[in-house]
Amino acid sequence: MSFKQKKTLTQKIKWWVNTRIVGFWRVKVSGYVKQKMAPAPDTVKFNRDASPMPAPSNDGITVILTAYKRSEYLEQQIEALRAQTVPPTEIWVWSNRSDDELRDMSKLADRVVASNSNFLFWGRFALANLVRTKYVAFFDDDILPQPRWFENCLATIASGHDGILGGSGVLLPIEGGYSSKHKAGWNGNHYNSPVQVDLVGHAWFMNKAHVQYMWREEPVSWDNGEDIHLSYMALKYGGIKTIVPPHPENDQSLWSCRPDFGKIVGRLNVATYKTKDHKNTRSEIVNSHTKDGWQVVKKHSDYSLPKEKNFTE
C-alpha cells in the first residue's frame, strides 16, 4: 500500500508558482506569441454552415454520397434523392482528395466533409457511424436512384427481408474466387421479389445498426472490396444477410438506378473496376473469407432464386 506524501510549505509554494505563474508565461503567452508570428494558415470556407446535429431518431434516412472525380453528377443525384417518395432526412457528402479541386457542395447537401486524403470508398462507411437516423443509404457516384427506391427498400425490410440491401447483387461461384457473371439488380437479372446474394454494390440501404459489423475486422485489402468485406462481416458477426430488393422489369420507378445513367457514367475511365488487378484483388478477398468459413449462397442447401425473372444482361 502506498501513501500520499505530504508536501512541505516550500514545495506547495513552488508547485503553485510553476503551474500558475511560470506555466502562464510558458503556455499561454508563448502560444500567443507563436500564433502572432506564424504565417496566416490556409482556410477552408463553406458557402453554408450545417445546422447542429439532431438527436438520435427511431426513423428517417441519412444518405451519404462520395465526391471524387465525377462530382459534376452530384447535383443530379441529390435532386433524385430529394424527389424520392420517401425523401431522406439528410444528405451528406464525403469529398475525397483527388487531382481535381474540391467542390463545395454545402448549398446542395445538409453536411459536407472535405478530406485532404483519398480514403477511397471506406470514408463514407466510417462517416456512417455518426448518422442519427434509423437508416443509412450509400450511393456510388455513377448511380441515379429512381423515385421509389427508398420506398422499395423499406417495403422489403417490412416484408421480413432485413439485411444489407443493395442495388447490384452478385452471386459468387461455388468453385471460389470472384466473378460477377451472375448478378441481380438494375444491371443484372430483374426479379419481382427480393433475392439473397453474396454481396451488393453501387447502392446500399441498411439499418444504421448494421454498419458496426464492417469494423469488426481489418479488411483483407484497403484498396478494394469494401462491398465484399461489409457483406461477410455482417453475416459472420450478425447473421445479417445481403439482399437485392425487387427490380421489376415493368416498373423501373422501384429501381436503384436509372440504367442509361449507370451504364454511361459507370464506364468512364475513373471507374474502379478499370484499375489494374481489380478482379485479382477481389478474388483474393473472397478466397480469404472462404478459408475463414464463408459459404457462398449457391452452396446453401436451401438455395433457390425467385421464379419470376424478367431479364438478364
Whole-model pTM: value is: 0.85
CB distance 156 to 165 below 8 Å: yes
CB distance 247 to 166 below 8 Å: no
- CA 272 to CA 256: how far, in whole Å? 19
Q: What sign does the dihedral 286-142-122-216 (CA atoms) show?
A: negative
pLDDT for the residue 183: 96
pLDDT for the residue 115: 77
Mean pLDDT by 10 residues, the chain (313 residues): 72 84 74 69 77 95 86 88 98 80 79 82 93 97 96 98 98 95 96 97 97 96 95 98 97 97 76 67 96 95 78 50
Helix H, strand E, coil C: the string for the chain is CCCCCCCCHHHHHHHHHHHHHHHHHHHHHHHHHHHHHCCCCCCCCCCCCCCCCCCCCCCCEEEEEEECCCHHHHHHHHHHHHCCCCCCCEEEEEECCCCCCCCCCCCCCCEEEECCCCCCCHHHHHHHHHCCCCEEEEECCCCCCCCCHHHHHHHHHHCCCCCEEEEEEECCCCCCCCCCCCEEECCCECECCCEEECEEEEEEEEEHHHHHHHHCCCCCCCCCCHHHHHHHHHHHHHCCCEEECCCCCCCHHHCCCCHHHHHHHCCCCCCHHHCCCHHHHHHHHHHHHHHCCCCCHHHCCCCCCCCCECCCC
Residue found by looking up cell 479541386 in the block: 101
pLDDT for the residue 254: 98
pLDDT for the residue 267: 73
